[in-house]
A and B are shown apart, each in its own frame.
Chain A
């Protein structure tokens, strides 16, 4: 009987180890396969040329890279101010029932599938302007950024010791001044890293772009024309029947994943260090 318990013990504990190995193995296979394929098909043209017409080889995704940049710029302009200031409110000013309502709504919005955010941006921007645009895509991504930007800001501001606030106030600083010159600087590293993670997350979003910024095989001047974006190009190229396009999809996947993972690794390192210091 005692033996059986020991055997069960060893078998089950080994199984948990095996589960971990499987997951890590999957991660390595994913990264390895993508980097191997992506690096193979990545060319200089990829960064400098427009997509080639169907059937011709060569070409690149310069327009999609610029398009992604513009969409993310818009997303930051919308998501960061609202998220940041809203977070300041929750951490520094919020009292009573309203902050809990905002917090609940934030979590709710954060859980909304990205495709539904796409429908929202379609209704608010595309349907009213009567055409697809960079602006609409930026709005969709910006709305997606707000919840995490807000909760991150709140979390890091709350991590700032109360004594710092009291010290500043004791010296005669107003509350606003205390927040702006003492509390926020103390938390800014964490907040910035959180925002970068947030940005990296929406940088890979495809679903909300499909019917807001739509996609475009050419340059998209200004903000009110449809534009392509890297994730959207990966999607359309991957489901196409052309081998040449598949190769380009791999290259684009390689570029996108490298950027996203780099931001993640750096930001998480900074976060880990900040939380140890705090």
Chain B
């Protein structure tokens, strides 16, 4: 800020002292340090997870992610039930949210008037701003009773022969968690997919319409394939979010670590077991095992996120924040 109206021809050619006086060197260094802090924090994060999980990694090795015992008393830990719950709830939530989200994205980009589309998208993006603990609250007191009294009896009546809908339903379950997750991730799918669909050149649509395709054929056979990678990207982005979601899932999943075929039974996920047991963990080994679960979750989400960004970037759509 001390920069005097300077006589320097160009800051670039001045001496170091000149540049310092003009504030350039100072500004450069200061902002560089702040940008580098991101780098340091990310490295520190990985370091903390790695060091924190050392005890557990040494004791269990790769067995950690292949065994399903979770016995804090005997200090025998395996991640399978939690990985199972995380993966199953995320995938089921995608099964629910992808068709609906893609449908809405098509409507908003191809059908609705721009002003209406913008307003509706604005509203839908508000859904993404709702804190996850509020989704959990609504999950417990609104969704679970509705599932219990209406949805699950209907499911059992029609699809009850499928193993995934067998067994008793106590309200909290893998299924409830999946439904909550699907509501939470659908705004991401809609907002990113809509943007990549809007980025498809108008020529593409006009060409298809001019050879006699209907509006739907144009959309489904020309526009959607053109934006395919961006749409996959939005799905991966949503998946990464579902995998790491903690509070809403913890509140409705039942917190029972077991592997089962029925979606109607209670389960547990990586994020929710960490949330539930971290403060209760009494021994170093227990904490270490929980941190290793965090490491597993970190690794999974990094891979999924990386894929998502790659896909969206190569389609030219903007990555939603």
Contacts and interface: CB of A to CB of B under 8 A. Distances in A.
Interface of A: 5-6, 8-9, 12-13, 15-20, 22-24, 26-27, 29-30, 33-34, 37, 81-86, 88-90, 92-94, 98-99, 101-102, 105-120, 122-124, 143, 146-148, 150-152, 172-177, 179-180, 197, 200-201, 203-207, 210-211, 214, 231, 234-235, 238-239, 246, 249-250, 253, 256-257, 260-261, 264-265, 268
Contacts of A211: 278-279
Contacts of A120: 44-45, 48-49
Contacts of B34: 81-86, 88-89
Interface of B: 1, 3, 5-8, 11, 22-24, 26-28, 30-39, 41-42, 44-45, 48-49, 51-52, 99-104, 106-108, 110-112, 120, 122-127, 129-134, 136-138, 140-142, 183, 186, 190, 214-217, 220, 240, 243-247, 251, 271, 274-275, 278-279, 290-291, 294, 297-298, 301-302, 305-306, 309, 319, 321
Interface of A is mostly: helix
A115 B103 CA distance: 32
Given A82-B38, A105-B39, A250-B141, 18 more contacts: A19-B104, A23-B100, A33-B138, A82-B37, A84-B34, A93-B27, A102-B39, A105-B42, A109-B38, A109-B42, A115-B274, A120-B48, A175-B22, A177-B22, A206-B132, A210-B279, A235-B251, A256-B133
Interface of B is mostly: helix
Contact of B130 (A105, A249, A257): A257
B275 A210 contact: yes
B28 A115 contact: no
Contact of A150 (B11, B28, B38): B38
B246 A207 contact: yes
Contacts of B136: 235, 238
B214 A207 contact: no
A143 B41 contact: yes
Contacts of A92: 31
A102 B244 contact: no
B321 A151 contact: yes
B39 A101 contact: yes
B321 A148 contact: yes
Nearest to A11: B216
